[in-house]
Structure 1
């Protein structure tokens, strides 16, 4: 039996009618929405270079008659905030989506050592297009397609004459994907999540009762998400000048710590299997599976070859469910490394972000509003999102961290159709009407 997503006695501000659905649906122009998504998606906006797309959203809000402003930790990476409604007494709802998109680095050297030529040549990194009725392009998938949906949802509410009692915030944020300050890449120029929705919450002049992170969820919903900790595990040894090196027959006896990578990686992999199996977290809001992967390895320098290295670093990414802290994995990794035949090691958490979840009672009015809106549009209520969506970081974590009940939900993640965009916009508009209420 499927577990209900909210208690049967959950109260909402406003129950949408068939007339409401018809009016708002008629106000959504699918062609306009598709053009907006493609235009936004084709503005280059990798992390640290969101200024052009931010300016576009700001201008769009002003052109369409929404009160709008900018708020940023740096002028080059602003958060954009639009407002609608708030003329009566009602709950405030905040939509957020991120401006940055997954992309290779702007440093060719980094790309050379991370991506194959085939991967780098994929046009979907920076281009978005409509082909055979399907939308393509990573920027559109993540996250300017869903962003376009809530922008058009707000425009449709306005066009259809629905004045909201509560306030509707429309926000576009930098830095959700990354990067993170790391080693020589330090300072504000490399900030990611800290200057996006988190900065917006504290300095953007927003007061939300509820929040929705608009992202592709294949029509599902979740109100929990994982965090992560990135550890740098340094393995110590001794670099020996190659001409005087007497290389041992046994690999594990080699003084160069690079030669220890085999047993180290094997031990970390075996630990990661146990960690993932033992720490799965399931609630009414979803299933979070804390995954683990080695992301990078760094050792020595090819510019000063000929003497090996004293240090080899392994960077391992460890997921954190809403119930976990980094201390657990730190101590477990320390036990794993202590059992290996190595000269020495050091474990440092380079990045730590906890996972979060909404209080199920507090979030239930938002979930019920979404369910009723989805039923009105798709003919069936929303279901829990795939565990992948509740096992990653999305910016609903920011609001749940601050005790603002938040969910993430949206259209199909990949290869959506223009009709999917229109349905998503209608669902967002109806959810906003239900949460904020009519004035």
Structure 2
């Protein structure tokens, strides 16, 4: 296994309980702004137990805690968990100091939740006259590899908080792509938080508590639940399938491939600005699938559209899923061919997408599809050329439509217990 790219404080230190906000502090937590981070983990994690015992176990089999502190935020190169709760927030306060305070409060809360601990003084046992510090639905549950990842949207740099001059040049407004049918109510946002865990209740609990702490300072703009990861950062594990039944993300960047991560995912100091060093950029797209139409399409046509066989997942003309694709053997309009780095100037993305089903559309069809999440070092050299290629001629477009979109700058991780999300930006 390649060397982990993340600096860590060590399992014993990661397990240490941060200073809990006092009961009085709770009443001053009328709001908070948002951010969270941690060290990136690969295919294994250090299990944190109540007795401080450390052991290494396969990530997918562990209910353990992912180390919080580190060079990069967790939830990017970390082994992909089974469940997602993603939320985009609008900042309601226009007071810079209030926003900073809320980011600090959220950092302390996230440190505790990712370690499997209750927020503040917990869900019970405190003052009967005050609301509890924690909502309580995760009591008794394991950390379930919970990771919390914060991002800052372009709108945060509009001048309200004196950040206009610090907006990264790479935090561009995404162009409108052919076929987009974006819903403004499901797009954009000042801040985002990605909560991933193996237990859906643990992920939902994290977002709920951050929104509660942030009441009055931030408001949820939109959110998305996800299940059934559609990409993996651990190539030794079986590749997941999407809602169309095909293996997806076969050639995704591995969370332990430090060279590929440095080249395609992590922002370097020379990229600038300085506060983004060791961070990344996240593109989130809600992609609706017309699965009823897809389900009536012949197997041969489905395989031609993807450029892979549905059983093994092998590229056209190859025997195994991970065989190098021979692009000329595929149709010019095949999805794999159009998304391949050779078609897009070498562009590669680290994908962490999830499937979703959100009831029906009122016409008897499932509102289902892919919540696409992709991390990259440079959006204009990463997502933009790939999506332009796909939007122009991908045969899959007959069966999908992009209905939500957002872009966020993902700052570096929280280095230690004195650090907080966004410190480099606001300092």
- TM (normalized to structure 2)? 0.31
- TM (normalized to structure 1)? 0.31
Q: Which has the larger radius of gyration?
A: 1
Of structures 1 and 2, the one with the larger relative CO (CA 8 A, separation 6+) is 1
